[in-house]
Chains A and B, each alone.
Chain A
Amino acid sequence: MIRLDGVGQVFHGRAGEVRALEEIDLHVQENEFVTLIGRSGCGKSTLLRLIAGLLPPTSGGVEVAGQAVSTPRRDVSFMFQRPALLPWRSVVSNVMLPVEISGGDSEGGKAKYRDRAHELLELVGLKGFERRLPHELSGGMQQRVSLCRSLIRRPKVMLMDEPFSALDALTRTELSAELQRIQMELATTIVFVTHSIEEAVVLSDRVVVLTPRPGRVREIVEIDIPRPRTLGQNAHLTEVAQISGHLHGLLSEQGRPVDLPEARR
């Protein structure tokens, strides 16, 4: 679904050249959930923006669904760290924004999307809040609206840039459980950026660990834990802990993988 071949990104700042990404090769399969993880400044967000077509790569090629990416595509949606809702629009019309922007739909088509918007809002537990303004909602609810907005056009690919990192721990776990459920239901390809190892392990099929400055792929870790995965009452705590430990090692300063002590099992 997504192919990155030898992708590199160089920024020209005041302090000179900054090599953000170097020699990134990554293939993401259809319906796969891939998480990019790495320390601050490793270029995870940059990589996501390259796939989104918000930024042209300095070198290498980016393909989505077999086509080279040059501008943002209709079937790719982007979800930000902050909800990024338009403050004057009601919840439902924020969800409808992508439909409105791309236009070209007949009245009937629009009505279908409107129904879908209501379905999505119900799916994330926001039934009854359709007419509210964003400032009347909590941070978690706002991010749910943002999730609905990125789902409205039935995207083939969803790019998510630390979407839950501004939320409190409880809301965060709740939303990542919801995202898992939604992905299983809707079958979309997701590339997800996070700082949280736990989130990466619970959500992903594969975790791509990036090194900082310049960002390179350090290791790609497969996660073979059956779904649905939860943190609370789940049977896979050992595996989660094991993989988390491994990822933690990869991310640590020395970068040496740490083997999990037997005693933890």
Chain B
Amino acid sequence: MSARSWLTHSRTAAVLLPAVGLVLALGLWWLATIVFAIDSYLLPDPGEVLVAFLEQPGYLLEETGVSLLETLEGFLLAIIVGVPVALLIVRSVIVERLLYPLLLGVNAIPKIAIAPLLVIWFGFGQGPKILMVLLVCFFPIVISTASGMKSTPVELVELLRSLNASKTQEFFKLRLRYAMPQIFTGLKVAISLAVIGSVIAEFVGATSGLGYVITQSGASANTALAFAAITLLSIMAILLFYGLVLLEHLLLPWAQESR
């Protein structure tokens, strides 16, 4: 095996290469702070970020938990509301014409513009954060579910008709199952947005969460702490995303090959 084909095909390389990339980036970052003698309140080096985390790991993990909970609750709520709305849209042209422009309009609003309003309406608690996550997740979930439900191949619909299947059977045994891979695509988009949503909401008015940690540390010029919080946020987003990927592999083993 040549070195090149080892790098592109082996499993070890598949894990090793991203790690090498990460180490390289960290090294460059570290080097830059030394070579250009950057003040640590402007750009802390990776070591300082690690120290900032190790100084109060319990506190930071707790705040991570707060943000994680908001993200997950909003995300689940978006599924609970979004999927039925998508089904209604697919089911009835009237509902589609009624709701679709509205959905597009709401989606076009930059969500950060609503954040202060949510604080005015719902205060500083978890509610407005969950609502913000719901707002950002809603659209991709509705769109992907609706288009998935419309993608059922004609011959499969005809097959179920020829078997005299009821509408309910057609829905559960065929259309919904067939839409699952596309729904998952929407969920993967939504979960990344969900993390952004919860942080935005925390920026505007919160007393806890990683977004709150970042604004607070910014105010006190504790840049290293902000970096630690940002790192935790991105780890959280990555884990959530890959959690969904894993779930998809477990639930839809057929979808990887046949589409």
Contacts and interface: CB of A to CB of B under 8 A. Distances in A.
A54 interface: yes
B174 A54 contact: no
A54 B162 contact: yes
A134 B162 contact: no
A interface, size bucket: 20 to 34
B108 interface: no
Interface in B112-166: 153, 155-156, 158-165
Nearest to B177: A88
Interface stretch (A24-32, A59-67, A74-82, A171-179): A74-82
A68 interface: no
Contact of A134 (B174, B177, B258): B258
A87 interface: yes
B159 A133 contact: no
Interface stretch (A94-102, A185-193, A205-213, A251-259): A94-102
A71 interface: yes
B158 A102 contact: no
B173 interface: yes
Interface in B75-92: none
Interface centre among A52, A86, A100, A102, by most chain B C-beta atoms within 10 angstroms, is A86
B155 A82 contact: yes
A229 to B, nearest CB: 29
A179 to B, nearest CB: 18
B175 to A, nearest CB: 11
Nearest to B256: A135
Interface string B231-259: 00000000000000000000011110111
B169 interface: yes
A135 B159 contact: no
A184 interface: no
B10 to A, nearest CB: 25
B163 A97 contact: yes
B156 A78 contact: no
A84 interface: yes
A102 B164 contact: yes
B164 A78 contact: no
Nearest to A83: B155
B158 A101 contact: no
Interface in B91-117: none
A84 B156 contact: yes
A71 B159 contact: no
Contacts, number: 59
A138 to B, nearest CB: 13
A87 B163 contact: no
Contacts of B156: 84, 86
A72 interface: yes
A136 B155 CA distance: 20
Contacts of A134: 254, 258
A71 B162 CA distance: 8
Interface centre among B155, B163, B173, by most chain A C-beta atoms within 10 angstroms, is B163
A101 B164 contact: yes
A72 B252 contact: no
B164 A80 contact: no
A72 B163 contact: yes
Contacts of B258: 87, 133-135
A87 B254 contact: yes
Given A80-B158, A101-B169, A101-B173, A135 B163 contact: no
Contacts of A97: 163, 173
A101 B177 contact: no
A112 to B, nearest CB: 19
A100 B164 CA distance: 11
Given A88-B177, A101-B169, A135-B257, A54 B161 contact: yes
A101 B159 CA distance: 11
B82 to A, nearest CB: 23
Contact of A74 (B155, B164, B259): B164
Given A54-B161, A135-B257, 10 more contacts: A54-B158, A54-B162, A72-B161, A72-B162, A87-B258, A88-B254, A88-B255, A101-B173, A102-B163, A134-B258
Interface of A: 52, 54, 71-74, 77-78, 80-82, 84, 86-88, 97-98, 100-102, 133-136
Q: Which 8 residue pairs across A and B have the least CB separation, nearest first? A: A135-B258, A78-B162, A87-B258, A88-B254, A84-B155, A135-B257, A101-B163, A72-B164
10 contacts: A54-B162, A72-B163, A81-B155, A86-B173, A87-B258, A88-B254, A98-B163, A101-B163, A133-B254, A136-B257
